[in-house]
């Protein structure tokens, strides 16, 4: 059985409340770092063999927090864990409030595209960590889409994003046919 822990990157500094998208300038806030240290402590007794991260700064910094707790783990950047691609990155979040779903289809990577690459990332992590646990840092909506899919649920708009203080444990393989998913707050 393989265990994969999914986490959203830590809370970021975003005083202008901008759509972050794939902009790579948003660093972790002190509160974000504190939450991640707490999450790392929750996993202290796990045999974490790999830590994967989106290429964006906020996710890479999140993975760095885990390096202190898991110095023997292999660290790897996966493009598939990247944020939802959006042509609206850098615009105020207020710009998109109460827009219909059809609006997003023009400016965002499709949910099917996001889910396809997130599934690919999960398959890679499972294949590389048969004897240990993997930790993956990604972003709110991609993580939400993946978990909806794993739980047998369909995407529907509006989508509630994966919170910053949630840790999801996915157990795959072994005798069970479908993944076992547990959610924790830290």
Token match 């898991």: residue?
70
Spell out the domain ranges in the chain: 2-185
**In terms of pTM, does the model score above 0.75?**
yes
Q: Tell me the pLDDT of the chain (186 aa) as tens digits.
A: 899 999 999 999 999 999 999 999 999 999 999 999 999 999 999 999 999 999 999 999 999 999 989 999 999 999 999 999 999 999 999 988 778 878 877 888 999 999 999 999 999 999 999 888 999 999 999 999 999 999 999 887 767 888 889 999 999 987 778 899 999 998
Fold of 2-185: Rossmann fold (3.40.50)
What residues have CB less than 8 Å from 36, skipping those under 6 apart? Answer: 7, 10, 28, 62, 65, 66
Both tokens assigned to 105 = 């289809």
């Amino acid at each position: 059985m393989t265990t994969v822990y999914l986490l959203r990157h830590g809370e970021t500094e975003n005083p202008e409340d901008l759509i972050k998208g794939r902009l790579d300038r948003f660093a972790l806030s002190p509160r974000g770092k504190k939450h991640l240290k707490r999450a790392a402590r929750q996993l202290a007794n796990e045999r974490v063999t790999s830590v994967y991260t989106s290429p964006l700064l906020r996710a890479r910094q999140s993975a760095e927090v885990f390096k202190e707790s898991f110095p023997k783990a292999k660290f790897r950047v996966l493009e598939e864990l990247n944020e939802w691609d959006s042509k609206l990155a850098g615009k105020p979040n207020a710009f998109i409030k109460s827009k219909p779903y059809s609006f997003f289809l023009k400016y965002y990577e499709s949910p099917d595209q996001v889910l396809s690459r997130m599934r690919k990332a999960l398959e890679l992590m499972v294949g590389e960590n048969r004897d240990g646990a993997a930790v993956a840092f990604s972003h709110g909506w991609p993580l939400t889409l993946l978990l909806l899919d794993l739980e047998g649920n369909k995407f529907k708009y509006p989508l509630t994003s994966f919170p910053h203080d949630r840790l999801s444990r996915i157990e795959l393989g072994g005798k069970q046919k479908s993944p076992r998913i547990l959610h924790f707050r830290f």
